[in-house]
Amino acid sequence: MLTADPINLKSLHKWNRLDAIPYKALEKFEDYYLLYIHPIHTYKYRLFLTNQKDLIPFLKVRINPDRLEGVDLILSSLDFSEYIICNHDGEIYTL
């Protein structure tokens, strides 16, 4: 069931910080929504439907928490039951 809880700073107390992308957990679903959030321009936001075989290599190349490197994006399962949120500083959260 979908909820009306927005993903924002007010819901931060529900976020769980991770030290790395849970690649094994991403194998749970075959397809994901990936929302790219441009840090400045909202017209550059992009929503993709991707499969885990393309998603996992993409994340491994672009997100490195040890070097504080990342991309502003939100990953969601197709049923919106699980979220992974990443930022450009390499921080990773689940919701």
21-69 pLDDT, tens digit each: 788 888 889 999 999 988 889 999 999 999 999 999 999 999 888 888 9
Determine the average pLDDT of the residues in 8-31.
79
E strand or H helix at 53: helix 52-62
Residue 2 pLDDT: 46
Could you tell me which of 37, 9, 32 has the C-alpha nearest to residue 22? Answer: 32
Give the other-Cβ count within 10 Å of 21's Cβ.
21
pLDDT confidence of 91, banded at 50, 70, 90? Answer: confident
pLDDT confidence of 1, banded at 50, 70, 90? Answer: very low
With 80 as the cut, is the pLDDT of residue 92 above it?
yes
With 70 as the cut, is the pLDDT of residue 9 above it?
no
